[in-house]
């Protein structure tokens, strides 16, 4: 019941080519001149000085502070909107109840 079924390979039905015969070949070594050394890159390498590291840290800190301020202000805007909608709902409910009493 729990024995796996092993798939069987189907027999070929079309033209079957016989396996290719591999003939041994001789290896001939040629002595060549060594390849030329690769040319030096013309791009300048980046050297981080202590001032550059300090500037990178300062820029990263500024980005984090700006993104944090934007996210906090968006959260504050959503909270203020929710509170104002709640106040409007209470005022409208009060006005409707006042009209029903008259």
- The per-residue pLDDT for 71 is 97
What are the residues whose beta carbons fall under 8 Å from the beta carbon of 48, sequence distance 6 or more? 56
Q: How far is CA 40 from CA 32, 44, 48, 78, 87, in A?
A: 23, 11, 21, 57, 71
With a cut of 70, say whether residue 16 has pLDDT above it. Answer: no
Query: What does the pLDDT look like over 50-92, one tens digit per residue?
Result: 898 999 999 999 999 999 999 999 999 999 999 999 999 999 9
Q: Tell me what the mean pLDDT of segment 33-42 comes to.
A: 69
């Amino acid at each position: 019941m729990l024995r796996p079924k092993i798939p069987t390979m189907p027999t070929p039905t079309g033209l079957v080519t016989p396996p290719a015969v591999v003939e041994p070949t001789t290896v001939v070594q040629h002595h060549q001149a060594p390849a030329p050394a690769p040319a030096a890159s013309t791009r300048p390498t980046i050297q981080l000085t202590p001032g550059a590291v300090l500037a990178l840290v300062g820029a990263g800190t500024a980005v984090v502070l700006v993104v944090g301020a934007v996210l906090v202000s968006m959260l504050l805007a959503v909270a203020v909107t929710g509170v104002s909608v709640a106040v409007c709902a209470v005022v409208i409910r009060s006005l409707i109840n006042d009209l029903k009493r008259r």
